[in-house]
Every structure is written in C-alpha cells, then in structure tokens.
Amino acid sequence: MNNVTVVSHPLLKHKLGYLRDKTTYSHEFRELVKEVSKILIYEAMKDWKQLENISIETPIAKATAERIVNPPVVVSIMRAGNGMLDAALSMIPFASTGFIGIYRDKFIHNTVEYYFKMPQDIKGKEVLLCDPLIATADTIIAAIDRLKNYGVGRIKVISILTSQSGLEKVRHFHPDVEVYTIHIESEVNELGYLVPGLGDAGDRLFQTK
C-alpha cells in the first residue's frame, strides 16, 4: 500500500513484544508508547521541507542553521491518542495541539463525537493525527473527515498497530492520507479488537479497566 509506511526496526519489534504482553505494568506501557511514538514521529517528519536558514554563532565561529517553520499541528484522538502526545511534543515542542473526542458506539454501530478543539490557525497546516490503534478504522476516518472540513493541509496518521482491513478502508475514503505504523495485523475480532493486538490501549495507558 503506497500510502502506508511500516517502520521496521529490531528495537521497535522488541518494544512491541512488551506492549503486547498483558503482564506489562501500566507505567511501563505508557513509557513504551512514548518511545515508539517518538520514532514514528521522527519518520513522519523525514520529508519536511519547510525550513529557513538563520545566522547563529557557535562557541567557535559564525555559522548558518536551519529551523523548521510553519510546524505541523499534533492532533490526539482521545483518549488513547493522549498517550502519544508527550512523545510528539518532545520531538516537536513548537507544534500546536488539537483534540478530537470520538469513539465507535457498539450499539448504534457508528461513531460518536463528544469533543473537538483545534488551534485557530489550523487551516492549511499539516496535521499529525495520533491514535495508537487502527482496527475498524471508523474513528480515524471520522476524525479525518472533521479535519478536512476545517480545511487542513496534508494529514499523516501516526498509529502503533493497524489492521489490514482498516488501512484499506482509510485508503478507500482518504487516499491522500499517509499512515505510519510499526506493524499491520491481519485480523480484527467480533468486538473490534486487533488480533493478537495489545488490548484496549486507553485502558492499559490509564488503568481504567
């Protein structure tokens, strides 16, 4: 799939094993999510071209340095996406942040939005949309729909695990959106969980189950 980048690395495979393990403690899970998210953000920013040259002085001599301009907006799909925010903002501390509260209601078989807050200057800006898991893809597609209604620029989805069917659905509805992940799962069960997956990321991040 040409709109999907699978970031494969021995360290990521090592960390994914601990993320999957149900005996991993919540505080360890949070740190692992941050560590993996930093690498995904790094990969997603590799092709950033909006840079300006400025004059600086090193302790030795005058020099020219490059600085990122017009930085992306980091958007979290609550609540699990919040577990990726610290990592994203540690890599891009000058980025602004948006929040989308949305979930898939299993009774009505549709998504429900309960919160939406974006920076005022989001129009035309690139968005890094954070959600640790893409299973059915219903929530990520609904979030992308809302962002496009606000006239944002390029959208990149940052997700630790994705499903093959979910990625195909994203490509069908939003072929221009890029996805960065570390692994693609082949199965989603009847409850909408990735298999083997890592369970409910929000519950494991915040000890709410």
Domains and CATH numbers, the chain: 4-206 (3.40.50.2020)
Average the pLDDT over 61-87 and give the result.
Answer: 94
Structure confidence at residue 206 as a pLDDT band (50, 70, 90): confident
Residue pair 91/45 in contact by the 8 Å Cβ criterion? yes
What percent of the chain has pLDDT above 90?
84
pLDDT, tens digit, 9 for 90 and up, residues 123-181 = 999 999 999 999 999 999 999 999 999 999 999 999 999 999 999 999 999 999 999 99
Cα–Cα dist 159/81, whole Å: 9
Give pTM, 2 decimals: 0.92
